[in-house]
Amino acid sequence: QVQLQESGPGLVKPSGTLSLTCAVSGGSISSSNWWSWVRQPPGKGLEWIGEIYHSGSTNYNPSLKSRVTISVDKSKNQFSLKLSSVTAADTAVYYCARLHGIAASSDAFDIWGQGTMVTVSS
Amino acid sequence: SSELTQDPAVSVALGQTVRITCQGDSLRSYYASWYQQKPGQAPVLVIYGKNNRPSGIPDRFSGSSSGNTASLTITGAQAEDEADYYCNSRDSSGNHLFGGGTKLTVL
């Protein structure tokens, strides 16, 4: 079965760039799914960051779009997140997730990574 | 509007039925999906589409929708159902949205 595993630094300095990778195992990143990043600040709700298809097509949350880049590496079966100009407000658990479904009207995030905590602090 | 609104907290007596709701204009065009999240764990998909349960999700979980409101119903709530529940859909631009979450307490 498909599994996702996030990795990356747990501490990032203010104004720096947060970089995370999500490794896909048990399946191909080139399958007919979109791959997303979702974050959750401590004690708060879930926020969708953006998504990528294996072709490289992306969609981003408008509130983060100017700072976010999501990329895919098919040779390594993984996708990555870069978030620039970070502040303390970007401190959160970051999850990668698979979006599964035939139609946009009924798709869902069916597989999630365990999440990785990223703290923005000097 | 491009928001999904959930009640912050709901409680239910053990074995009783509880409905958790999610309101938003986008729900007139898109089905909601529902996620259960227990402390320190990643969210788990419990309902998607019209009323579909992933493998392994008990049949006491069901979903429905009417107008701008989607509902997650737990029929015969168990102690292990105590968790935060989030709805998800898309806005008019096709971007994903999450509701603010509902904390379910099983008494």
Interface touch B100/A112, C-beta < 8 Å: no
Residue written as tokens 């970007």? A90
Q: Which of B33, B17, B11, B6 is nearest to B104 (CA)?
A: B11
pLDDT (tens digit, 9 = 90+) per residue, B74-96? 999 999 999 999 999 998 888 99
Interface touch A61/B44, C-beta < 8 Å: no
CA–CA dist B34, A42 (Å, integer) = 20
Name which of B93, B97, B101 is nearest A48 (Cβ-Cβ): B97
The radius of gyration of chain B's CA atoms, rounded to the nearest angstrom, is 13
Interface touch A106/B48, C-beta < 8 Å: yes
Per-residue confidence (pLDDT) for residue A104, from 0 to 100:
72
CA–CA dist A29, A74 (Å, integer) = 7
Per-residue confidence (pLDDT) for residue B43, from 0 to 100:
98
Nearest-CA residue of chain A relative to B39?
A: A43
Q: Is the pLDDT of residue A101 over 90?
A: no
Pull the structure tokens for residue B20.
Answer: 């958790």
Name which of A51, A105, A112 is nearest B43 (Cβ-Cβ): A112
Tell me which of B1 and B56 has the higher pLDDT.
B56
3-state secondary structure of B57: coil
pLDDT (tens digit, 9 = 90+) per residue, A21-71? 999 999 999 988 999 999 999 999 999 999 999 999 999 999 999 999 999
Interface touch B94/A59, C-beta < 8 Å: yes
Interface touch A48/B96, C-beta < 8 Å: yes
Number of inter-chain CB pairs under 8 A, A vs B: 63
Which residues, other chains included, contact A5 with Cβ-Cβ below 8 Å and sequence gap of 6+? A22, A23, A25, A113, A114
Residue written as tokens 């959160």? A92
